[in-house]
Amino acid sequence: MGIWFTEKQTANFGITAKVNKILVALKTDFQDLEMLNTEEWGNMLVLDDMVMTTEKDEFVYHEMVAHVPLFTHPNPKRVLVVGGGDGGVIREILKHKSVEKATLVDIDGKVIEYSKKFLPSIAGSLDDPRVEVLIDDGFMYIAKSEREFDVILVDSTEPVGPAVNLFSQGFYAGISRALKDDGIFVAQTDNPWFKADLIHQVFHDVKNIFPVTKLYTANIPTYPSGLWTFTMGSKIHNPLKVKEERFTEIETKYYTPELHFASFALPKFVKELTE
């Protein structure tokens, strides 16, 4: 039978993956951290029993959380990632030549340490000269920032434990202050099957602050329900009005200019969460 890792996505439903080897299993100052070698998905980072990223399907999430806002902004130079300790979002940000500096603020240095060791294809860009890595609470870091960033990406864990403050209206107000006058922010906002209330709440909190507020989706097989959402708050630029010439050539496996626009077309039961 061997070892199987099961993520209970609700009290009554979950997914399970065959584990070839437990590479790391420890309790950090903030969360339970496991790195598992799985038969289907390669190495898998698990925090507090929730799948964070896997070698096989990580590109979907990291490309979609990064390239939709970065191509919506006309000339992103300063980018901030809150969370994102596995390094995947940073890798995608650096594909944009306009970016001069990308700052990553993750509360848990152990996530960065073990991602570098066991997820080199994902964490490999964290040592790039354009990258600044800070170990800090993203909520506190944002509270000290003022009109500094063109794009802010919130790549945090679920709104429990250390990330609970990262889904509050106060945090989104802080993000607005930390952004420049034409800044854009995107937060991962979970799935509409099991977290509809969260999506509805966050969307309306963001809409109270940002003139342009949109929801878009992507298919992520190892995340709860597989249908994942991202909430964008933008001070000026509209993601649906990006001109064709803005889409410079970058290497991707999921994101395309066509999908940039199509990802905002929502199933009816999801669109209703934004009304």
Give the nearest distance from C-beta 52 to ligand SAM in angstroms: 4
Interatomic CA distance for residues 75 and 223, integer angstroms: 31
List phi, psi (to 5°) of 111. -65, -45
Measured distance CA(130)–CA(7) in Å, rounded:
35
Phi, psi for residue 194 in degrees, rounded to 5:
-110, -15
Cα→Cα distances 130→64, 125, 245, Å: 21, 9, 25
| Phi/psi at 99 (5° precision) | -70, 120
CA–CA separation, 209 vs 168, rounded Å? 12
Q: Binding of ligand SAM at residue 83 (CB under 6 A)?
A: yes
Please tell me the count of residues contacting ligand SAM according to CB under 6 A. 23
Q: Name residues whose C-beta falls within 8 Å of residue 275's C-beta, 6 or more positions apart in sequence.
A: none
Reading the block at residue 141, the tokens are: 């870091």
Region from 68-76, 82-90, 120-128, 230-238 binding ligand SAM, contact rule CB under 6 A: 82-90
Q: Write the binding mask 10 to 49 for ligand SAM: x where contact by CB under 6 A, - elsewhere.
A: ----------------------------------------
- Cα 207 from Cα 169, distance rounded (Å): 10
Cβ closest to ligand SAM, residue 143 vs residue 266: 143
Q: Does the active-site annotation cover 32?
A: no
Q: Which of 108, 150, 155, 190 is catalytic?
A: 155
Query: Residue 105 interacts with ligand SAM (CB under 6 A)?
Result: yes
Q: Which residues contact 143 (CB under 8 A, 6 or more apart)?
A: 174
Does position 63 bind ligand SAM by CB under 6 A? no
Lay out the site mask for ligand SAM across 121-160 (x = CB under 6 A, - = otherwise). ----------------xxx---------------xxx---
Smallest separation, CB 145 to ligand SAM (Å) = 13
181-210 mask for ligand SAM (x: CB under 6 A)? -------x----------------------
Site residues for ligand SAM, 207-266, by CB under 6 A, read: none
Helix axes 169-178, 196-207, angle to 10 degrees: 40
Q: How far is the CB of 75 from ligand SAM (least distance, A)?
A: 26
Best CA proximity match to 266, nearest among 242, 231, 241, 225: 231
Q: Given the rule CB under 6 A, which of 4-12, 76-84, 173-181, 247-255 is the region that contacts ligand SAM? A: 76-84
Binding site for ligand SAM (CB under 6 A): 52-53, 61, 82-86, 105-108, 111, 137-139, 155-157, 162-163, 166, 188
The residues annotated as belonging to the active site are 155
